[in-house]
Amino acid sequence: MRILMTGAAGGVGTLLRPRLAQEGRVLRLLDIVPVEPGRGEEAMTADVTDPDTMARAMDGVDAVLHLGGHSQEQPWADMLEVNINGTYVVLEAARKGGIRHVVLASSNHAAGFHRRTAEAPDYLFPRPDTFYGVSKVTLEALGSLYHDRYGLAVTCLRIGSCLQRPKEPRMLSTWLSPDDCARLVEASLAAEGFHVVWGISANTRRWWSLEEGHAIGYEPKDDAEVFADELIARHGEPDPGDLAHSLLGGAFCRPELDVDNLTARKR
């Protein structure tokens, strides 16, 4: 079994590499920056927006895990090229390469402008909080299209906060532990059909449903609550009146990411 992982040098890719390693499995690590392959790995330095290279990247591959792209807000032109066109190029190369299973890294920011509720349902209608969020909505739409039209099995992961450990109180709800992330990816790689799944651990304070995750066989084992005392002591309880805590997308919903402010920051 060979899995192509795009964006392998990024935060999530780096956490996943050792956790996805298995006897008889090869991880093909693809990134725009060089990655040093370890045991059971091979590496390709390539741009996900380049169709010829992506076609070559599919050679001998059984499944694709697409993590590549910007992971923070960027100007529209960058989002359009790297995240939106990049996802199209990956899916098109997967289709032509006869790949059956594709896992796409979406984000909670695809639905970031929804108000927080006790537990938002699966398949929550998109309400992106940024151009980044729009790119993830588009990723889900492309995944849906490639499933319905071409029969690929596609699972989109609306990832919360995938870090070694939660860094601030919001992440007591949104944390996806690295081990649970690997469990979720394993379940997604085996899933048939088309799914949109929230990417969180079994957090006591979670805001998102785990039902669709369970339906594809994801059994999270970690809970951010073990970090609660320490994080609340350092940062205080989240203030529900603060927009960063009342909306699902947190700080991504703040005016600092309005397009004019973003353009000014880039100058």
List the catalytic residues. Answer: 132
Q: Does 87 bind ligand 15L (CB under 6 A)?
A: no
Give dist(CA 71, CA 73) in Å, integer.
Answer: 7
Nearest to 55 by CA among 92, 25, 20, 80: 92
Whichever of 100 and 265 has its CB closer to ligand 15L, that residue is 265
Q: Judged by CB under 6 A, which stretch of 79-87, 106-114, 122-130, 232-240 contacts ligand 15L?
A: 106-114
CA of 181: how far to CAs of 58, 136, 167, 190, 267, in Å? 23, 18, 17, 14, 36
Q: Does 108 bind ligand 15L (CB under 6 A)?
A: yes
Binders of ligand 15L among 177-236, rule CB under 6 A? none
Whichever of 58 and 107 has its CB closer to ligand 15L, that residue is 107
Whichever of 9 and 61 has its CB closer to ligand 15L, that residue is 9
Nearest to 213 by CA among 224, 205, 204, 202: 202
Q: What value does the CA radius of gyration of the chain take, rounded to a whole number of Å?
A: 18
Give dist(CA 204, CA 200) in Å, integer.
Answer: 11
Whichever of 152 and 257 has its CB closer to ligand 15L, that residue is 257
Q: Judged by CB under 6 A, which stretch of 29-37, 101-109, 146-154, 211-219 contacts ligand 15L?
A: 101-109
Give dist(CA 187, CA 135) in Å, integer.
Answer: 24
Total residues in contact with ligand 15L, by rule CB under 6 A: 9
List of residues contacting ligand 15L (CB under 6 A)? 71-72, 107-109, 159, 161, 174, 250
